[in-house]
Amino acid sequence: MKSDLEIAQAAKLKSIVKIAAELGIKENELELYGNYKAKISLDLLKRLQKKPNGKYIDVTAITPTPLGEGKTTTTVGLGQALAKIGKKAIICIRQPSLGPVFGIKGGAAGGGYSQIVPMEDFNLHLTGDIHAIGLAHNLLAAFVDNHIFHGNKLNINPQAVTFRRVVDVSDRALRSIVIGLNKEGAPRETGYDITVASEVMAILALTTSLKDLRERLGKIVVATTYDGKPVTAEDLKVAGAMTVLLKDAIKPNLMQTLENTPAFVHCGPFANIAHGNSSVLADQIALKLADYVVTESGFGADLGAEKFMNIKCRVSGLKPDAAVIVATIRALKMHSGKFTVVAGKPLDPGLIQEDLDAVRNGCENLQKQIENMKYFGIPVVVALNKFATDTEAEIDLVQNLALKSGADEVCTSEIHALGGKGGKEMAEAVVRACEKKSDFKFLYPLDAPIKQKIETIATKIYGAKGVTYLPAAEKAIKMYEQLGYGNLPICMAKTHESLSHDKTLKGRPTGFTVPIRDVRLSAGAGFLYPLLGEMRTMPGLPSVPAGEKVDIDENGKIVGLF
């Protein structure tokens, strides 16, 4: 059996100029990075502004398990399948962080015969956007400390600097550091976040123009003064330089799938920390070029999809026509609590044997995620990634339970093994769902009090019985309301491994109370992000990092990337 990398390297790629031409993109609207990837000029959006939008589909999932559910593979496969049934489709997807690529997860180009290619470029540096984001972020961090060193005219309290540095590597040793020990600055505690958790990344993903980007960067709050006033990037006179560093990164990247379906790859914020969606600009352009646009939200529907609806759609003004929730039989069995997965050891045989009780119990998680998407008033399609070990009785059980819980369609797909032709049933179900009447609505009004918005998400989306606030969170909420930031949407930072804040609570937990440890501000991105439980903004590497297997042979061919 061929590996994903071998499949990708054997792909018959079209010139990216030809992919663009088939979409109606002119050569002068392309900036080529070799033969198979290009940046798209934002002038294209201006040229197409009067064209009607295509259908807008968000792919999400049940709560992730160590087995993987195939959400990205489904996103890619659905785009290919829509093309197979004669629809003009574009995929919009995030660029992966190098932290997970060399850490525990590996790449994020999809899998099998549903991949973005060249997958090596996709998973590695691509066109350098993440490096530009990291540089712009760290330039601002350097300006903060430089300003304090050179007399501190803005009266910044060094102990109230909230802006940390970033690096796109999973490095737990940098979570907490002390700077200024060289006697050339005020020593203080700070730390590093992973680049995809940067507010600059969130801003780039949510911006709608170069002018909007410049304004948002200027609004970033980095610290407060000794008398409690916010200090921004504009105050430090660095927002212009940051925008210059991002003048190319703002342009979406055009790539293709194994079946030459076009794909926009742009931005990559994590959904357990930030809003977890690719860029607004990529979606806006794609919707003018295609009949169907398939985008993907990070992690489960309680994270990326909730933020897609409440944050991204508020910024873009776009309304989704349908949501696709991805699941597998074996992942649902994991949510029953009956099985565990131990790294490096064979799967429990029970996961590949018929077990209707485990499927029924695990489906509680799927049922909750269907309920979550229905809160937003849109049609829901459940897509089961099919394995050879799934039985008809298990599939029928999932279909019955999902339909009873409000799903509009339930289908199986074999897009990993068969590519687009293995997803025709799913594509047809999505087309039917998009034709249904949608009554899209947000979960909460922006003018609601901060605590009310937090509690609405916790009780409705997570199923919590209530919320508690630690002193730091109480203090932050009071300060943000006094400073005029109370009308921002909420971007919850919590574990992706459970509907709750506690990763050990599987399935559909009930009776839990969500602790809000702190609340932080992303004024430029335009949201507040509460920290739930022990949520971290810098991952660590596992005992056996994926990077150990990555190498290059004497012919320059990459090996071990997955």
For residue 470, what is the domain's CATH number? 3.10.410.10
Cβ–Cβ < 8 Å for 97, 362: no
Structure tokens at 156: 């910044």
The answer to whether 328 and 398 are in contact (CB under 8 A) is: no
The verdict on 276 and 400 lying in the same domain is yes
Dmax (CA) for the chain in angstroms is 72
Question: Are 208 and 257 in the same domain?
Answer: no
Strand locations in 449-494 (E): 466-469
Whether 364 is in a domain gets the answer yes
What tokens does 552 get?
């290059």
Q: How many CB atoms lie within 10 A of CB 69?
A: 24
Which of 396, 411, 435 is the endpoint of a domain?
A: 435
Question: Is the Cα torsion angle 480, 486, 490, 492 positive or negative in sign?
Answer: positive
Sheet holding 230-232, edge to edge: 156-161, 221-225, 230-232
| pLDDT tens, residue order, the chain (562 aa) | 677 777 878 889 999 999 999 999 999 999 999 999 999 999 999 999 999 999 999 999 999 998 889 999 999 999 999 999 999 999 999 998 887 778 766 677 889 999 999 988 998 989 999 999 999 999 999 999 999 999 999 999 999 999 999 999 988 999 999 998 887 777 889 999 999 999 999 999 999 999 999 999 999 999 999 998 999 999 999 999 999 999 999 999 999 999 999 999 999 988 888 899 999 999 999 999 999 999 999 999 999 999 999 999 999 999 999 999 999 999 999 999 998 887 667 788 888 899 999 999 999 999 999 999 999 999 999 999 999 999 999 999 999 999 999 999 999 999 999 999 999 999 999 999 999 988 999 999 999 999 999 999 999 999 999 999 999 999 999 999 998 999 999 999 999 999 999 999 999 999 999 999 999 999 999 999 999 987 777 888 777 887 878 888 888 888 777 7
CA pair distance 138, 173, nearest whole angstrom: 18
Residue owning tokens 């294209």: 44
Q: How far apart are CA 319 and CA 458, in angstroms?
A: 23
Looking at 104-197, list the stretches that DSSP marks H as alpha helix, in order from N- to C-terminal side: 119-123, 129-149
User: What is the distance between the alpha carbons of residues 436 and 432, in angstroms, rounded to a whole number?
Assistant: 7
Q: What is the 3-state secondary structure (H, E, C) of 319-349?
A: CCCEEEEEECHHHHHHCCCCCCCCCCCCCCH
Q: Are residues 226 and 279 in the same domain?
A: no
* Beta-bridge mates of residue 293: 56, 90
357 and 420 together in one domain: yes
Angle 293-298-301 from CA coordinates, rounded to 5°: 90
Q: Are residue 283 and residue 402 in the same domain, yes or no?
A: yes
Which CATH number fits the domain that encloses residue 186? 3.30.1510.10
pTM of the model: 0.94
In a domain, 549, yes or no: no
Shared domain for 265 and 391, answered yes or no, is: yes
Return the C-alpha torsion angle 129, 131, 135, 137, nearest 10: 70
Rg (CA), the chain: 23
Q: Which domain holds residue 317?
A: 4-127+249-435
Q: Is residue 546 part of a domain?
A: no
442 lies in some domain: no
pLDDT of 330 reads 95
DSSP letter at 64?
P
Are residues 103 and 149 located together in one domain of the fold?
no
Residue 550 in any domain: the answer is: no
How many domains does the chain contain in total? 3
Residue 23 amino acid letter: L
Domain check: are 269 and 223 in the same one?
no
Query: Is residue 538, in this structure, part of any structural domain at all?
Result: no
State whether 390 and 406 are in the same domain.
Answer: yes
- Residues 492 and 506 placed together within one structural domain of the fold: yes
Question: Closest by alpha carbon to 173, among 194, 200, 199, 187?
Answer: 194
Q: Which two tokens stand for residue 66?
A: 């160590």
Question: Looking at the structure, do residues 143 and 106 belong to the same domain, yes or no?
Answer: no
For tokens 């997860």, what's the residue?
Answer: 105
Half-sphere exposure of 443 (CA within 13 A, CB side): 28
Q: What CATH code is carried by the domain that includes residue 333?
A: 3.40.50.300
Distance CA 180, CA 371 (A): 50
Q: Verify that 424 and 344 share a domain, yes or no.
A: yes
Helix residue ranges, H only, 12-110? 16-23, 43-47, 71-84, 98-101
Confirm if 507 and 335 have CB atoms less than 8 A apart.
yes
